[in-house]
Amino acid sequence: MAALITGIHHITALASDPQKNIDFYTGVLGLRLVKKTINFDAPDVYHFYFGDEVGSPGTILTFFPFKGARRGQKGVGETTFTAFSVPEGSLDFWKKRINSFGFPVSDIQERFGESFIRFEDHDGTGLELVASIGDERTGWNQGELDGDRAIKGFHSATLNLRAKDLTEELLLEQMDYQLIGEENGRYRYGTAGKAGDLLDIVLRQPDNRSMQSAGTVHHIAFRTADEQRQLEARQKLQEAGQMVTEVKDRNYFKSIYFREPGGVLFEVATDEPGFAIDETVEELGTTLRLPEWAEPNRVEIEKKLPSVSLNSQTP
Ligand code: ZN
């Protein structure tokens, strides 16, 4: 049977300041703001999607920036680090670049045979860049972030869990993942086993409990090709005892949600239809896009949202 789940679709985190958020992810990391919309469940909060040129599944980090939100705390039962894939040989460049904007960066380290650096944005969001071997995606190239440097998309995500057995069983039996290896207490899983589909479970527990607020990940979404496969995945998850939501229309994809046994909120999102349904590829992210049901309230919604600029000074 064809795989229902084929890797990571997007990761959604919480942030404190919409402008700083845009400045960091476009200005420092060179991702493209591919959609500026609202949190469908809280229309007075933005929802920003950052990714490659078109927001391909597997490249999209999204944020709900709650202005003035206090800083959260990474902990057990959460996605604690989001790793992006960058070209081999580019880590020295990235370390210098991120440093030059005033953000500390770790030394270059090794994991599963690949080099990586670790850093945080101004909210404490856990980020890594991995010099990924054999990742043929090109990312969004502009200026000095050319094909030898630009972020290609996700490499992997790290879940911090108290125990791994039930989550592993879910990944292996319901979500088309396989165990790839273990290194220093880090268990790595993959669907095809390449950048963009890798998921790590780490059992080393931080002393602190997690507190979800700015700088923490709200949920991680896995990709499925289309609505038919999503329904099949939903049924499979339900039959295994997962409490899965109804299908929700997120405009740019359809979604189902459930909380995996380790406490992390999982989503399964469709690759279709993507971000070019309500603006052209050239226009992506340049104006506030609203779902049809919110369009009649546009004036009111825009009044409540803080104004942001795509071309403000980088941090
Ligand atoms: Zn989502």
* pLDDT at 315 exceeding the cut of 60: no
Give the residue numbers spanning the domain of 28: 8-304
| CB contact at 8 A, 106 and 177 | no
Burial of 277 (0-12, 13-18, 19+ CB in 10 A): exposed
Cα 272 to middle of ligand 1, angstroms: 14
Cα 79 to middle of ligand 1, angstroms: 13
Has residue 311 been placed in a domain? no
Cα 256 to middle of ligand 1, angstroms: 9
Is the Cα dihedral 228, 234, 235, 240 positive or negative?
positive
Q: Which two tokens stand for residue 227?
A: 């609505």
What domain count does the chain have?
1
Over the stretch 97-152, which tens digit does the pLDDT of each residue have? Answer: 999 999 999 999 999 999 999 999 999 999 999 999 999 999 999 999 999 999 99
Has residue 226 been placed in a domain? yes
Read off the pTM: 0.97
Cα 220 to middle of ligand 1, angstroms: 7
Over the stretch 29-52, which tens digit does the pLDDT of each residue have? Answer: 999 999 999 999 899 999 999 999
Cα 312 to middle of ligand 1, angstroms: 27
Cα 219 to middle of ligand 1, angstroms: 6
Has residue 1 been placed in a domain? no
* pLDDT at 244 exceeding the cut of 90: yes
Cα 96 to middle of ligand 1, angstroms: 32
Instruction: Give residue 254's pLDDT.
Output: 98
For 244-260, b where at least 16 C-beta lie within 10 A, e where not — what string?
Answer: beebeebbbbbbbbbeb
Q: How far apart are CA 314 and CA 304, in angstroms?
A: 24
Has residue 178 been placed in a domain? yes
Task: Count the neighbouring beta carbons within 10 Å of the beta carbon of residue 297.
Answer: 14
Q: What is the CATH number of the domain that holds 242?
A: 3.10.180.10
Helix, strand and coil content of the chain, in percent to the nearest 5, comes to 20, 35, 45
pLDDT more than 90, % of the chain:
92
